Structure 1
Amino acid sequence: MTPVYRAALGSDFEKLHPNVQWRYGVDSTSGVAQMTSGMVESVFCTSKLTPPVLRFFRKRNVMPTTTSRLVPFFMDNYCYRDERGRECLAVIRRFAYSNGEQRLHSLLVNGSTGLIDYFGDGPDLLIPLTPRVGPGGSLILESEPMRMLSRGLRMGMRGLFATSMRYVEEWDDEAQRFRLDATVRNVTLGEIMHFRGWFTAADRPCSIHEIPDEAWPLRLEERE
């Protein structure tokens, strides 16, 4: 199978920094998982979201909901093919706040319409992504407006509620580690969430039977 970002970028994948290519050069046949650890220097969640929405997002591992700084951060990547035969990259992000861990679970899929990111355990959000190569061989992801998938929370995301995401991952030659910068913005509320920081990464052997349960969404989502 072809790794999700290589399939989405085509020949431009070779323009990524070699270390970013290494990060995303594995697929469901590689037999490895990638474990990272680092520090989120700044994580922000807007106070404009209502408490029920924040509780829902936190419970479903859609996004961190606590603003803080210097939060230990872990990100684990697992590759597999889902029941529809789609190549998938599951990303489990963990924010180790002093008062308890919060998570952001997402599943990148090579869909029939392009690269799709499903957020949350449901999954609860569908995010169509357009990847490109940025300065220094960085990976830049920019999204079209998100779509709500949840069967519980009902919230329209068009017009004034349109929400999009931008993610940048790059290699820092001076510090010899990766950097990331993620931002979610809403047309009406402005910046909803961001987190920025650094991490190091290492591969480890991982069979399909060793992939943790949380890497699989609660249901197979066919909407793209």
Structure 2
Amino acid sequence: MTSIFQQALGADFDRLHPRLQRRFGISSAQSTSCIGTGVMDRIWHGPAVTLPFLRLGATRHILFPEQGSNVQFCIENYAYRDSFGRETVTFVRSFDIAPHRRRRFDATMVYSPQRSAIVDYLGTHQHYGVLLDLRVDRRGALTIRTGEQRYAGHRFPVALAGAAEVREWWDDADDCFRIEVRVTNRFLGPVFGYRGRFTTRYVDTGTAPVPAAVRPVRENPRV
């Protein structure tokens, strides 16, 4: 089984920087996970009007209202087959905002043959599904932009939806991954974002199974 990113990108997958090919090439067939740790140089949010939405999202591990700099960061990417037999990759991001305050931003991704795209289920219960558009630039970086969004199977109102752009690349000079995330809303403007760096290690999930803590509470069969 090829990775969901290989399926979504097709021949463009080979244009990714080799470090990104390894990171986004994990699949359940390989029994390998990718754990990244590092520092987010800056985490920010938009104007005060965005805070109620961020607080609500935090209850399901979708965004959060805090800001910060030099924040310790971890991202857990595990590939496994879900209860519907779909190849799935976790994107569980943890931010240590303060000594006793950790925030999470959870997602699980599957590839939809019907839509020829990755579906990104945000949060703990997979109520919120987003189609992703993937592009590889001439330097081998990966840019991910959100497309159609649905909540509990229904199209999500544009007025409430956030448009996200994620750019991830390998920094040869500093020997680390770099990431920048920006979420905006058509009416509210900038909503949330972060940027920083991390390094990775690879774990054999044949001997260390996928932790229950990174799996969603509920799985959604809709793609």
Alignment TM-score, normalising by the size of structure 1:
0.91
Where do 5+ consecutive residues of structure 2 fail to align?
none
Equivalence for 1:56: 56
| 8 Å CA contact retained: 1:108, 1:118 | yes
Q: Distance in 1 between matches of 2:118 and 2:155?
A: 22
Partner of 1:118: 121
Tell me the CA shift for residue 50 of structure 1. 4.8
1:103 to partner: Cα distance: 0.3
Say if 2:33 is the partner of 1:68. Answer: no
Question: Offset at 1:217?
Answer: 1.4
- After the TM superposition, which residues 31-50 of structure 1 pair with which residues of structure 2 at under 5 Å, given as runs? 31-46=31-46, 47-50=48-51
The CA RMSD over aligned residues, in Å, is 2.0
Letter in 2 for 1:139: L
Taking the aligned partners of 1:123 and 1:15, their CA distance within structure 2 comes to: 31
Look up the equivalent residue of 1:76 and give its one-letter code.
E
1:92 matched residue in structure 2:
92
* Bigger Cα displacement from structure 2, 205-214 vs 67-76: 205-214
Which residue does 1:133 correspond to in 2? 136
Q: CA deviation at 1:24?
A: 1.2
Identity rate of aligned residues, in percent?
28
Change (3 A) 1:96 1:179: same
Residues 46-68 of structure 1 show CA distances to partners (whole Å, capped at 9, x for unaligned) of 322253x3333112111132011
User: Are 1:80 and 1:208, in contact at CA under 8 Å, matched by a contact in 2?
Assistant: no
Q: Is the 8 A contact 2:72 2:95 kept in 1?
A: yes
Aligned residue type for 1:5: F
CA–CA distance in structure 1, aligned partners of residues 207 and 151 of structure 2: 29
Residues 1:147 and 2:146 aligned together: no
Task: Give the residue type in structure 1 aligned to 2:2.
Answer: T
Q: 1:174 and 1:55 mapped to 2: Cα distance?
A: 37
The total of aligned residue pairs comes to 219
Within 2, Cα distance between the matches of 1:164 and 1:56?
17
CA gap 1:41/1:7 in 2 versus in 1, 3 angstroms: same
Q: So what's the TM-score if we normalise by structure 2?
A: 0.91
Offset of 1:156 from its aligned partner?
Answer: 8.0
Report deviation, 1:36: 0.9
> Is the Cα–Cα contact under 8 Å of residues 55 and 64 in structure 2 kept in the other structure?
no
Return the offset for 1:213.
1.4
